[in-house]
Amino acid sequence: MANAAKIACSIDADLLRRVETVRARTGESRSAFISRALLAMTAESARTRAVKEYVEAYKDHPESPADVATARRAARRALSRLDWEDA
């Protein structure tokens, strides 16, 4: 890690045992394992926030009947090009 920062934290002893068990299987260092877990958690948080923003924007600006008709035409065109015998 080129830009690593050291931290100290306290965690539940049972959680640490579980981390050590998984870490032993993956061969990761404790730092790598915890970094990967934190990356996953922050990515999930960002994804959750993005979905919430998308839903709110959709509620503010739902598709119009014209939008639905355009999407249906596009879907029919795309699906009509498929060879349904091989599907």
Asked if pLDDT for residue 87 goes beyond 70, the answer is no
**What band does 83 get if pLDDT is binned at 50, 70 and 90?**
confident
Identify whether 86 is part of a domain: no
38 with 7: CB under 8 angstroms? no
Identify whether 49 is part of a domain: yes
Q: Which domain holds residue 72?
A: 13-80
Asked if pLDDT for residue 41 goes beyond 70, the answer is yes
Identify whether 48 is part of a domain: yes
Identify whether 85 is part of a domain: no
Asked if pLDDT for residue 19 goes beyond 90, the answer is yes
Tell me the average pLDDT across 14-28: 96
Identify whether 1 is part of a domain: no
For the chain, the straight-line distance linking the first and the last C-alpha, in angstroms and rounded, comes to 47
Asked if pLDDT for residue 86 goes beyond 80, the answer is no
Q: How far apart are CA 63 and CA 68, in angstroms?
A: 7
Q: What global pTM score does this model have?
A: 0.55
Identify whether 34 is part of a domain: yes
Asked if pLDDT for residue 84 goes beyond 90, the answer is no
Cβ-proximal residues to 65 (8 Å cutoff; 6+ apart), any chain: none
Q: How far apart are CA 71 and CA 87, in angstroms?
A: 23
Looking at the structure of the chain, the number of domains it has is 1
Identify whether 33 is part of a domain: yes
| CA trace torsion 38, 40, 44, 45 (10° rounding) | 10
Identify whether 2 is part of a domain: no
Tell me the average pLDDT across 5-30: 95
The residue ranking higher by pLDDT, 32 or 87, is: 32
